[in-house]
A and B are shown apart, each in its own frame.
Chain A
């Protein structure tokens, strides 16, 4: 087993808990705002680790840039959509959950 394969495997394994955390947060967190936190931050980190793992396996640097662009687009889309949903919720008067 090559060292690069080992690093890829490790990164992919590390990404799994974050994807799971995103979904777990979506199910467990008490209100819309908290769920948005889980979806944006945990999934972005999970995807970032997957992208990093695949970059190591890339044959050409065009693939590396393509992977990087994929991550950046998801990052921008995720943050923008989260903001739009939160803004709509604010304007509709959704009160955040309090302990």
Chain B
């Protein structure tokens, strides 16, 4: 059993987030709060009641550094796959590689898995324990997964296992 502790700072942050989200989604119409207030109350209750197995934090500086990197890589990934789809010769030479994960299990790992699939030429295929199978569109692509892992670790303020052993 995990110990459930109630923290006001966390609660106010969540409340603020929910109110803001509802306001953005509905355009702040007064009548929408008839549904909004009970929904937010329910959401907050679920967030308090659901056990948090992996507590996590995000570094603001890490986020600011991650966004431009991610956008640039998405752009490169989209252009790369589009080029291959249009080319008459269909330049593909796929391969599945094993990547030893150094991120701890939890949100950071899930975030990494999803990011891998949006980077140029890589697709996260299967996770067995700490080994991630990555499908490469072309074995000549340098996947740069170490670099991504370092950035995700900085974003989630966690250390890589390989680093501090």
Contacts and interface: CB of A to CB of B under 8 A. Distances in A.
Nearest to A46: B78
Interface of B: 23-25, 27-28, 74-75, 77-82, 84-86, 90, 92-96, 113-115, 117-118, 120-121, 123-127, 133, 135, 137
Interface in A66-85: 66, 69, 75-76, 78-80, 82-83
Given A22-B85, A86-B125, 18 more contacts: A18-B82, A21-B78, A21-B82, A28-B85, A33-B125, A34-B137, A36-B135, A37-B135, A41-B81, A41-B120, A42-B78, A42-B82, A82-B117, A83-B117, A83-B124, A96-B95, A98-B93, A98-B95
A28 B94 CA distance: 14
B127 to A, nearest CB: 7
B110 to A, nearest CB: 9
6 contacts: A28-B85, A33-B135, A36-B117, A38-B85, A45-B78, A83-B117
B78 A65 contact: no
Task: Report the contact-size class of chain A (Cβ under 8 Å from the partner).
Answer: 35 or more
A48 B72 CA distance: 12
A62 B29 CA distance: 12
Contacts of A31: 94
B96 to A, nearest CB: 6
